[in-house]
Structure 1
């Protein structure tokens, strides 16, 4: 009897090992339907939202509750957030986390969920609709100041400014999946226009390619212990633009060779560990399709007509370029002349630091530019900062503004897909906007640089602006 019992235990152990191996290899099939207990739990959540016992917030509304760099926020009210999973740890490029966005297609916001669960793709598969009951959880950052707002389970024991994973015991009481799995359609996005609002969403970038200097190299540098960032590029007008693809050393595709042609890449928008840079993170290399020829920028010599050129070298005090508008919509701060001691060049500068103003909105608007006298136009400029600190700088265009500062807000302004310096960029660096095509606009156009901030230390950053040029083809 004793011998038979030992054999039974051994057979059970072998069966258990076989099951675990099957799951690790990704052969485990996510069930189409849920168990009765799980179905009842999620239906109770949905019914409570309908009755008003629980309040449903959007991901965007949830993220707005937290200020980047602040201490973690404990959720003490009965609120719920709904989303669709867009990441997978099946390939090993994500670890004990998943990202979810507010819609399967054309999302407006996304967020990271840190949880103490490996192989979470077996439960929270891509496209799975989930509800998270937030009371008792935290919103913050797993690495303070990294700019990647996250849902977590508790405050870190070693750093009170950071949060840790939703624990295994917390998961069943807070994260509820429904029977619905939607197809996640990547949001096609302008290369230069990608910004912090896209963090946590699944996007597609077209006509991109890895830097030619990376030919023959793999996704991960073999000397790196953790992550490797590889540069991707695209042609934008008269030059190139670039972003970084970040890959974990523990991913299953870390040793795959980078493609040398051009094409499309689909990835989750995130931030690097220090929060300095926006990066793209792949679910796997099936989302990289590069079989096309690489592009080359347009020949600069064909765009020799200059419709606008301003470097602020002749300015001092408040910016007062002829026929330009320096308008304080809210607050007491104006765009002013600034001398960069590192580049030994003047620039325009705007910031609300130490203003004492509850809100700051200030415009710097160019004179009108006639876009009907040329066939194709490209705007470019450079920006730098002294810590963006949550403030915002936008580049906009209007073709129905009449040039009167009293009518600024009556005009229609469109945000241009310009690359603007990020908060984490070294303050000595100047970032080129890339070349922004204006050919879709006609008539007299005005370019505006709109600063938004306030006296709060979390929103009082400073931006510098220089070398504004519009190149055109006759």
Structure 2
């Protein structure tokens, strides 16, 4: 049936064809460039997009290179095409209903796509081509092109299969021009929260987190049906080659098989550690002259150890008044606190700069640990959820207690050399009243 359909197609186009036979699995029909030629570009097709699902009615043809493969079972129902073998700036996700499509459209294959009657949409920044899918609820979207229609729209050229050269980039430099193209990230490793886990949970799409030495992270999205699903994520660091996609505002990586993950035995020497008991809460401020018009409240964290600490996944929690459960969380991810240094988290960074004359390291908000009015309790936890340091007693209102710093400050004694998971009033100096800026010295342990 396949051969008859393809022969009929060639008669319709009135062109010559050639057959390349590498082995039985890779037998495929192909066309010469004289038979079908691109008459537009990826960029021109994308410029036609009107902001909603649309059908292409013009007789347009694009050509590009296959950069994906479903042989490993991680990519299914989609063929990713990029405009060139090297340095592409445009790509498409083509939805097709074809199992084992790598046998027909192998990695590096140059293809032509007849766009007339296909549907085009942009989903989470990703341009998609395909058929149409109508949900039971009446909504429509780009769907998988039926198998019988694939041969009328996607054609292999008879060129030799090319080696796709992935674009080298970094996590911060990723942008939408790279979507649906093949990229490679060097000097990354599995983030702490994903270490020791399999690539995916069985029969579940699973997200695993990769990170670089600066604490930047990106999601690797793995299928629960992939051939490598039960394999454990590798130790060490190295490079990952993947097709770039996006879901909502989050870039995601689709590896094709385990050869795309090239990690060595050693973790990256990033110049920091991820665990430490020497990051402490060192000062909390509720100035007497604080007001709704000028909020000078802040909380200071200090690294009193000799190693830089990456706070990826760490949290600073506030337990308001006598509440036994925390009411707010400051996510400290993205911060690397250097040894023998401090960071300041302001309740309001604009007001803080006006009061103290320099920018805080981050803004926590008035309802956070940085915005306490003196009778709240704070807990610093690391990536594993372990209590690293505590101020006050969660569940106890701080008013008229040893941890009441209303209209003043709580300052950690310089003799303290590590965090404490249980509040010890002997480690603190509570002073009230205190006026900002003169009675405070944020970002300094003097």
Range into which the TM-score falls when normalised by the shorter chain: 0.5 to 0.7
The question of 1:101 aligning with 2:82 is answered yes
Report 1:436-451 matches (<5 A). none
Change (3 A) 1:220 1:339: closer
1:193-250, Cα deviation, whole Å (9 max, x unpaired)? 113222101000001110234333210134xx431001111112xxx11111110001
* 2:192 matched residue in structure 1: 212
Question: Aligned pair in 2 of structure 1 residues 150, 341: CA closer, same or farther (>3 Å)?
Answer: farther
Instruction: Decide which moves more: 190-199 or 204-213.
Output: 190-199
Aligned 8 A contact 1:115 1:167 in 2: yes
Measured in 2, the distance between the counterparts of 1:176 and 1:264 equals: 33
Q: Of residues 125, 129, 141 in structure 2, which corresponds to 1:162?
A: 141
- 2:366 and 2:107 map into 1 onto residues whose CA distance is 50
The answer to whether the 8 Å contact 1:206/1:263 transfers is: yes
**Cα 1:343–1:133 shift into 2, 3 Å:** farther
Partner of residue 268, structure 2: 294
- Looking at structure 2, the residues matched to 343 and 81 of structure 1 have their Cα atoms a distance apart, in angstroms, of 53
- Write out per-residue CA displacement over residues 124-147 of structure 1, whole angstroms, 9 at most, x where no aligned residue: 111000111111111115xxx433
Q: Does 1:114 align with 2:115?
A: no
Q: 1:339 to 1:157 in 2, by over 3 A?
A: same
Using CA pairs under 8 Å that are at least 6 residues apart, name the structure with larger relative contact order, 1 or 2. Answer: 1
Name the residue aligned to 2:71: 90
TM-score normalised by the chain length of structure 2 = 0.55
Partner of 1:267: 242
* Corresponding position of 1:153: 131
Bigger share in helix: 1
Instruction: Describe the SS at the equivalent of 1:173.
Output: coil
Correspondence list, 1:419-430, <5 A: none
User: C-alpha distance in 2, partners of 1:60/1:121?
Assistant: 26
Distance 1:242 1:269 in 2: 14
CA RMSD in angstroms comes to: 3.4
Q: Which of residues 235, 253, 272 in structure 1 aligns to 2:213?
A: 235
Please tell me whether the aligned partners of residues 60 and 110 of structure 1 are also in contact (alpha carbons under 8 angstroms).
no
DSSP 3-state at the match of 2:199: coil
Residue 253, structure 1, aligned to residue 249, structure 2 = no
Tell me, in whole angstroms, the C-alpha distance in 2 between the residues paired with 1:59 and 1:297: 42
Q: How many residues align structurally?
A: 275
Contact 1:130/1:176 (CA < 8 Å) preserved in 2? Answer: yes
Q: Cα 1:110–1:343, aligned 2, differ >3 Å: closer, same or farther?
A: farther
Which 4+ runs in 1 deviate beyond 6 A?
302-306, 338-346
Q: 2:183 aligns with which of 190, 203, 218?
A: 203
1:282 aligns with 2:255: yes
3-state SS in 1 of match to 2:35: helix
Separation in 2 of the partners of 1:342 and 1:221? 37
Q: Is it true that 1:174 corresponds to 2:153 in the alignment?
A: yes
Q: 1:98 to 1:28 in 2, by over 3 A?
A: farther
Matched residues in 2 for 1:63 and 1:297: separation? Answer: 43
In 1, are the aligned partners of 2:189 and 2:267 still within 8 Å (CA)? no
Which residue of the partner structure matches residue 59 of structure 1?
Answer: 42
Instruction: Give me the whole-angstrom Cα distance separating, in 1, the residues matched to 2:71 and 2:174.
Output: 26
Closer, same or farther: CA 314–262 of 1 in aligned 2, 3 Å = closer
Mark the runs of 5 or more structure 1 residues left unpaired by the alignment. Answer: 1-26, 50-55, 323-337, 347-474
In 1, Cα distance between equivalents of 2:134 and 2:188 = 39
Which residue of 54, 61, 82 maps to 1:80? 61
SS at match of 1:121: helix
After superposition, the Cα gap between the structure-2 partners of 1:129 and 1:119, relative to the gap in structure 1 and judged at 3 Å, is: same
CA contact (8 A) 1:207 1:262 kept: yes
Any conservation in 1 of the 2:193–2:209 contact (CA below 8 Å)?
A: no
**1:302-343 residue CA offsets vs partner (Å, 9 max, x unmatched):** 89799xx99433799xxxx99xxxxxxxxxxxxxxx997776
Matches of 2:176 and 2:130, distance apart in 1: 20
Structure 2 unmatched ranges of 5 or more: 1-22, 273-307, 309-336, 372-446
Q: Distance in 2 between matches of 1:126 and 1:179?
A: 14
Give the structure 1 partner of residue 294 of structure 2: none
- Post-superposition offset of 1:262: 0.4
Tell me if structure 2 keeps the 8 A contact 1:114–1:150: yes
1:285 Cα deviation after fit = 0.6
Gap change, CA 1:123 and 1:312, over 3 Å in 2: same
Does the 8 A contact of 1:204 with 1:266 survive in 2?
yes
CA shift in 2, pair 1:44/1:216, >3 Å: same
Once the two structures are TM-superposed, the CA of residue 104 in structure 1 deviates from its matched residue by: 0.8
Instruction: Tell which structure's C-alpha radius of gyration is larger.
Output: 2
What's the TM-score once normalised by structure 1's chain length? 0.52
